Structure 1
């Protein structure tokens, strides 16, 4: 070992010992006294009220009648294209290909590794209201989903996206009455 390394080691060791001794001396010299009562009164602790139940999601059916699939395609290109594809026979990406999702079962692609929560719903079909709830808050609609998307707050945007998703099928599902 060089002399410079010994000097650096000695400096660190000396500093550590100095801080330890200063702490011990400070503890012997200063004798803090506990207050008889707190200096600041915070009042009585009240249990927080349970959070209010989320408002029911308005039905998407009436909005689908005037939905614009072209706007839905634009929204999907901005919001969904990073993780999904939606062309017929297209590849899966981070998320599954969305072709044929409307009216199809949850976890509709056999070649995609869905979350256990999504796989558990395989026997249920993606109807318009299920898509509406999922697009609003994916994690709330299907607890345990791997989809990290926060959701679409505006009902008309959700209706437009669903209208576009509806066109992505050989035989589009009929609109609700």
Structure 2
């Protein structure tokens, strides 16, 4: 019969074997944790940026220059009735009634076709405006209301301009109505050039 001493020796041998098997593994795990090592997991690899994205928009093609003629071509189909809210900004400095006096800016009644810087009851024109001689045309007014300081460098008008081209066309079409005899639409806008290959329109008979 196996006595208790023999059982103790067997148990001790089994325990020693277990320690030999598991102790190195435990020691390695403890060492990794003590050095802050963590298990490396597969990560998500971001796609490489395209050539366009890498270059950035700042290095892209420059924005096209503003073309007043493009807005003038929109005028015959513009909606002056939609310009009320935008034109209210003008009324902070201008009047629009025929009999009204000028305010901080000249009265806008009859401005289309009027010589620039010549409204009789307004004496606050800048030297830059007075030196830009000639009558206000559709193209001039479009350019001025879009970028005042570009069309008349040195102007006193602090209005930054109307950036939306549809709104700009509506406002100019509305200003056209501020007259006893509204200026006729420009010929180029009223009669666009025919498509290539199209037969020319017949000339109208004089009346």
Report the counterpart of residue 73 of structure 1 in structure 2: 84
Larger Rg: 2
Q: Which residue of 1 aligns with 2:107?
A: 97
TM-score (norm 1): 0.66
1:155 to 154, 165, 181: 165
1:106 aligns with 2:108: no
Kindly tell me the number of residue pairs found equivalent between the two proteins: 124
Residues 1-36 of structure 1 deviation map (CA, whole Å, 9 limit, x = unaligned):
xxxxxxxxxxxxxxxxxxxxxxxxxxxxxxxxxxxx
Give 1:131's aligned residue.
141
Instruction: Answer whether contact 1:102 1:126 (CA < 8 A) is retained.
Output: yes
Equivalent residue, structure 1, for 2:181 = 171
Superposition misfits of 4+ residues, deviation over 3 angstroms:
none
Q: Normalising by structure 2, what TM-score?
A: 0.56
CA RMSD of aligned residues (A): 1.6
For the residues of structure 1 that align with 2:74 and 2:118, how far apart are their CA atoms?
A: 25
Distance 1:114 1:106, change over 3 A: same
- List runs of 5+ in structure 2 lacking aligned partners: 1-61, 188-207
CA contact (8 A) 1:88 1:99 kept: yes
2:48 counterpart residue number: none
Q: CA deviation at 1:110?
A: 1.8
Which of 1 and 2 has higher RCO (CA within 8 Å, sep 6+)? 1
In the alignment, what sits opposite 1:143? 153
- Alpha-carbon distance between aligned partners in 2 of 1:82 and 1:115, rounded to the nearest angstrom: 19
